[in-house]
Each structure stands twice: as C-alpha cells, then as structure tokens.
Amino acid sequence: MLQPRRIKYRNKHRGRRKGISVAGSTINFGEYGLKAVEPAWITSRQIEAARRVITRYARSGGRLWIRIFPDKSVTARAAETRMGSGKGAVDHWVAVVKPGRIIFEVAGVPEDDAMTALKLASAKLPVATKVVVKHEI
C-alpha cells in the first residue's frame, strides 16, 4: 500500500476540503481518466483496491497511472481512553481529493474495456466520479 517513506511532521491537522482542484485536473499521460466530482479523503487501501480492479480487468497490456498519493496521516486514539495526553498514533494515510481531480489514467486498451475498468474502480472509491476521455477535455 502507498505511504510516504519519511515526513517532516508525523501528525497533521484535519484541514478543510473546500474549492476545486486546479492542479491535476487534466489528462496528461493516458487516454481515459477517472475524475472526482466531489471532495473526499481516499485511503491508501481504497486506492490499492481500485488499482487491482483496473489491472485485472484491463489485462491486455495497457498502462495505468495513479495520479493521487496518500500523504496525509490520520490519527486515532484507543477506545475508552481519557482526554489529554496528546494526539493519537497514525492509523492510516489518505489522499485529499477535490472536485475535478484526475485519480487514475489508463492507456493502451480498447475504449469499452477502459470504460468498464474505470467504472468498476469507481465502485471501490468513496467519492462520486465520472469517466473522461482525452479528446473531450
């Protein structure tokens, strides 16, 4: 699963997911892309599950690009712990996704295979998405 090798600060604030994505909002590498329509946190497990679906379905030698990386740590405290004594330990890693962000890109497969693979991958993600084609953007 994806996670950073080293980071400057272990624990991060939650932040706000307002606005639209400017960086990473166009298809740069592949022919077909999966674009987020709403804001969300996508965990590294969800990214891996979607990646597996795409690579298994588009088996015919296509190429896949993952355009997001989970670099935000989410902490959790043990159940029934008293208040105080600092922030909890890192539980998992998430990628902050804003509307308009391209999540995956696919190339080298037929159009119907790419569309089906990206639709199956979107079922694994906690965000509403749409499939976009390079010549449409």
> What confidence score (pLDDT) does residue 96 get?
96
pLDDT in tens, 60-93: 788 999 999 999 999 999 999 999 999 999 999 9
CA proximity to 11, closest of 56, 62, 67, 72 = 72
* Residue 6, phi then psi, degrees to nearest 5: -145, 150
Q: What percent of the chain is modeled with pLDDT above 70?
A: 99
Domain 32-76+89-136: assigned CATH number: 3.90.1170.10
Give yes or no for a contact between 64 and 117, defined as CB atoms under 8 angstroms apart.
no
Predicted TM-score of the model (pTM): 0.91
All structural domains of the chain with their residue ranges: 32-76+89-136
- For the cut 70, the answer to whether the pLDDT of residue 17 exceeds it is yes
